[in-house]
Amino acid sequence: MTTQHKHKVTSLVLAAGNGTRMKSDLPKVMHEVAGKPMVGHVLSAMNALSPERTILVIAPHMDKVRERVSTLYPGTRFAIQDQQLGTGHAVRCAREEFKGFKGTVLIVYGDTPLITPESLSKLVAVREEHNAAVALLAIHPDDPTGYGRLIMKNEPYVERIVECKDANAEEKKLRWVWGGVIAFDAEFLYEGLENLEPSPVTKEYYLTTLIEMASASGKKAVMAPMDFEESMGVNNRVQLAQAEAVIQRRLRTRFMEQGVTLMLPETVYFNSDTQIGRDVVIQPNVFFGPGAIVGDHVEIRAFTHIEGTTIENGAIIGPFARLRPGSTVGENAHVGNFVELKKTTLAKGAKANHLSYIGDTTVGEGANIGAGTITCNYDGINKYNTTIGKNAFIGSNSSLVAPVTIGEGAIIGAGSVITQNVEDHALALTRSQQVNKIGKAIELRQRKGKL
Ligand code: UD1
Ligand code: CA
């Protein structure tokens, strides 16, 4: 994104909540949407604004969140909220992390995975335009239960926010509510948190109390409308599935716009890191796990499962193929039905078209792997590699017992069990000799009383 903002941005994400309604051993924000934790979606959206610093507020028991986020977003600072005393308290726990910072502190709740960089950028711009202490994104949902109501005499300026739990009947009818995304002037926020008092009703420290603190001291708090869908918070697994549906729809739309044909879009599942080139055709019911990179002019046929694999230009995959992590399918190579690749490289034009397991293997250019070939890469203790040379031909139903090397242009007779290396251009056979006994079938049947 290219939008330039006048002031620097610090992004702050709240994730210390327990998320009890998920009924899970995993912290809520670690639940994944399109293969990425919810908090990762929020951080990715915020990172598009190139924040000067990023702070995540977590609870003391959330080491897993810290670990995963540190790997995905190195440089993230963590603040610990040891008691759940409300959203205002959570931000206060992060105060030292933005002490002395001048600019905008952008706060998003960690369970809002659908927020887009465009809306965040708009919010920061709105605060700057109005020279406001606070800017917040507002929505008007059909059912505003649970949301803080915006009290406004002079739209778009907000006097205060009344939390749903504390609102009277009149206030409950108000149309605009806060969507959970807010931008503060850093110095105002730092000072305000110092003086924040808990709600007399619930004894919680509300972040929203800072709005009335701003207007009471003659500062501006301004609202800007946002798309309701983007504000959707995930509190249970039904909402998790709804968020997934939205992200999948966005990913499908993006790929189609980039020149990918999806024959039946709603049946294709993408990971948030999937990369696909141009003029790729994807048949129905294809699943992309993490780390799939697809080149141009590739055809991915129905019911294929792909993860951690690079597919080069012009390759044909499936139907019913399984590509596992560490694999590469070279240019114009083919991987057909019921073929599984694991940590395997197929060079340009190589083919494995039917019923095979190929693991820990390098297959040379133009080699042909016959139906039912198995690389025996595991002896129950260790894994071993197989190397198959350029233009080699592996006859059907062969077992290649690793470690083993099949030379360039070599031919393996069908049904062989290969335990020793095969030289370039050699023919290797390990089958027992065939014996044909003329007329013996008749004799056999007579003996068994069948004739
Ligand atoms: C909040 C807003 C409400 C707004 C709504 C939008 C407040 C007081 N209210 O209500 O005005 O309309 O979001 O979705 O802010 N959290 C902590 N520590 C805490 C409490 C919460 O880290 O002590 C985190 C949670 O993990 C969560 C976020 O803050 O990510 C929001 O908390 P939640 O309790 O869900 O607030 P709401 O009641 O939804
Ligand atoms: Ca919430």
Looking at residue 18, what is its pLDDT?
78
Residue 17 C-alpha from the chain's centroid: 22
In angstroms, rounded to a whole number, what is the distance separating the alpha carbons of residues 20 and 14?
16
**How do the domains of the chain map onto residue ranges?**
9-231, 251-428
Per the structure block, which two tokens stand in for 170?
């009149």
Task: Write out the catalytic residue numbers.
Answer: 354
Rg of the Cα atoms in the chain: 30
CB 285 within 8 A of CB 302: yes
CB 372 within 8 A of CB 417: no
- Report which of 329, 300, 298, 328 is spatially closest to residue 314, judged by C-alpha positions: 298
Unique residue bearing structure tokens 């009818």: 173
Reply yes or no on domain 251-428 having CATH 2.160.10.10: yes
**Which ligand 1 atom lies nearest to the CA of residue 112?**
30
Q: How far is CA 432 from CA 371, 376, 413, in A?
A: 20, 20, 11
Looking at residue 252, what is its pLDDT?
98
86 lines ligand 1 (CB under 6 A): yes
Q: Which value, to the nearest 10 degrees, does the dihedral of the CA atoms of residues 151, 155, 159, 164 take?
A: 20
Residue 235 Cα to ligand 2 middle (Å): 7
127 lines ligand 1 (CB under 6 A): no
The preferred substitution site among 87, 107, 134, 158 for testing ligand 1, maximizing ligand atoms within 8 Å of CB, is 87
pTM: 0.92
**Which ligand 1 atom lies nearest to the CA of residue 179?**
6
Reply yes or no on domain 9-231 having CATH 3.40.50.1100: no
Which residues on neighbouring strands pair with residue 404, listed in sequence order? Answer: 386
Looking at residue 380, what is its pLDDT?
96
Contacts of 375 (CB under 8 A, 6+ apart): 357, 358, 359, 360, 361, 386, 400, 402
Residue 144 Cα to ligand 2 middle (Å): 12
Q: What is the pLDDT along the chain (451 residues), one digit of tens a residue?
A: 556 899 999 999 999 987 889 999 999 999 999 999 999 999 999 999 999 999 999 999 999 999 999 999 999 999 999 999 999 999 999 999 999 999 999 999 999 999 999 999 999 999 999 999 999 999 999 999 889 999 999 999 999 999 998 999 999 999 899 999 999 999 999 999 999 999 998 999 999 999 999 999 999 999 999 999 999 989 999 999 999 999 999 999 999 999 999 999 999 999 999 999 999 999 999 999 999 999 999 999 999 999 999 999 999 999 999 999 999 999 999 999 999 999 999 999 999 999 999 999 999 999 999 999 999 999 999 999 999 999 999 999 999 999 999 999 999 999 999 999 999 999 999 999 999 999 999 999 999 886 6
Residue 428 Cα to ligand 1 middle (Å): 69
**Which ligand 1 atom lies nearest to the CA of residue 235?**
35
Angle between helix 38-47 and 117-130 (nearest 10)? 50
180 lines ligand 1 (CB under 6 A): yes
Which residues on neighbouring strands pair with residue 334, listed in sequence order? Answer: 316, 351
207 lines ligand 1 (CB under 6 A): yes
Residue 186 C-alpha from the chain's centroid: 31
Q: What is the DSSP string of 332-395?
A: T-EEEEEEEEEEEEE-TT-EEEEEEEEEEEEE-TT-EE-TT-EEE-B-SS-B--EEE-TT-EE-
83 lines ligand 1 (CB under 6 A): no
Unique residue bearing structure tokens 């709603």: 266
Residues, beta carbon < 5 Å, ion ligand 2: 233
